[in-house]
Structure 1
Amino acid sequence: MDHVTIIGNGHMARAIAVRMLRARHSVQIIGRNSEKTQALVEFLGAGARGDEEGTPVEGNIVFLAVPFLEGKKTVSTYGESLAGKVIVDISNPVDMATFDHLLTPAGTSAAESIALLAPPSSNVVKAFNTCFAKSLEVGQVAGVPLDVFIAGDSEAAKAKVSAVAAASGLRVIDVGPLRRARELESMMLLVMGLQANPEHVGFNWDTSLKILP
């Protein structure tokens, strides 16, 4: 059983924690706001514990359940304490003011930027960025398991993330190397733009992506 650390205490942190606990993995929540972290831990119940920002990361798999720029700062701050760990970047580097462009330069991605800051012995995996909190917590879309797209350069790291996602009731789709995160993030620029546009009333923040057989 992998011990999982989730950095962040917002809606996505809660959804990921629910899924990890369902898969019978213990969860460490590290959050900046101690009261919010404690409230989340109380909601999650047995198997979850909360710690303050700066507390040593205990998990073998570390979810960055924070926005892109904060994720970069987190990886830089923790530095070598993340050595040997699998780091899961869930972020979408979308300009939230306009929903018109990405915050990353062309030819790269949030995940690749984070990988450049991580210790060489760690492995960054892109996953869960196409999921939104409410549907992820439930784990289903239209009665079928939610899809989780995974990209990474380490097959072993992808296998670890795939295993915990699958054990939590989700369907995993491996899309290839870490550079495929560029397409995953660009895809969400389109989706989030639709969600934020009042002309598209059928799209909302509960929308999820599903590939049908």
Structure 2
Amino acid sequence: MKIAILGTGNMGAAFAAELAATHEVSIGSRDPAKAAALADTIGAGTVGGGIAAAVKLSDVVILALPFAAVSDALKQTGDLSGKVLIDISNPLTADFQGLSIGHLTSAAEEIQAWAPTAKVVKGFNTIFAQLVAAENRKTQPLQVFVAADDETAKQTAMALASSISFQAVDAGPLKNARFLEPVGAMNIQFGFFLGKGPVVAPVWLGL
């Protein structure tokens, strides 16, 4: 796949490093020099630059950004028509103790409204950056819950997750992001406020 990763923080860097071995990866940032430096560090044909340039090279775009930064980033993407846009965010309050939106909408649904020509998918919002690398989850397979209204986009995101050794779980339509985002927030509670560290993730078991 041709994948653009928007963001150079912990999540963006983790995804770029893990995906570069098997996909064509471009990194986009409001600071093109920072994206280029990260791409040089990763190697494996990864390129980095501005947001619009990265998106233009891609079929799939991973929004590795805080939800509060997504709206501004989307203003810089250029044409998103037909592109699969994977939202990995949780719309957290500044103190990480709650969600800024929810119940009647979700971050993913808001992003779909901001980018109506894209095919928005919710996924990876329950995975910490430390667990993106397959080598850090050898002892326990982890699930990625994937919600989308467009079936082809959903299958693309699930195939991407499977390509880096996650178990992709169909989580239904995009509105189910209203449920997935609170799960992501609870995972943050476990990881950072209840002492388990950023190496935990929810798994849905069938017995």
Shorter-chain TM-score above 0.5: yes
Name stretches of at least 5 consecutive residues in structure 1 with no aligned partner: none
Matches within 5 A, 1:1-213: 2-22=1-21, 24-55=22-53, 57=55, 58-78=57-77, 81-97=79-95, 99-120=96-117, 122-138=118-134, 140-141=136-137, 143-197=139-193, 200-201=194-195, 203-212=196-205
Point out 4+ residue stretches in structure 1 off by more than 4 angstroms: none
Q: How many residues align?
A: 205
- TM-aligned CA distance change 1:25 to 1:56, over 3 Å: closer
- TM-aligned CA distance change 1:34 to 1:7, over 3 Å: same
The 2-side partners of 1:211 and 1:142 are apart by 18
- Contact 2:51–2:76 (CA<8 Å) still a contact in 1? no
- TM-aligned CA distance change 1:136 to 1:36, over 3 Å: same
- Contact 1:4–1:25 (CA<8 Å) still a contact in 2? yes
Offset of 1:170 from its aligned partner?
1.5
Could you report, residue by residue, the CA deviation over 1:77-132 in whole angstroms, capped at 9, with x for unpaired residues? 435x11110100000111131x3321114311000000001133x21000111111
**RMSD (Å), alpha carbons:** 1.9
Q: Which has the higher contact order (CA 8 A, sep 6+)?
A: 1
- Contact 1:5–1:29 (CA<8 Å) still a contact in 2? yes
The 2-side partners of 1:56 and 1:39 are apart by 14
Normalized against structure 1, the TM-score is what? 0.87
Offset of 1:20 from its aligned partner?
1.9
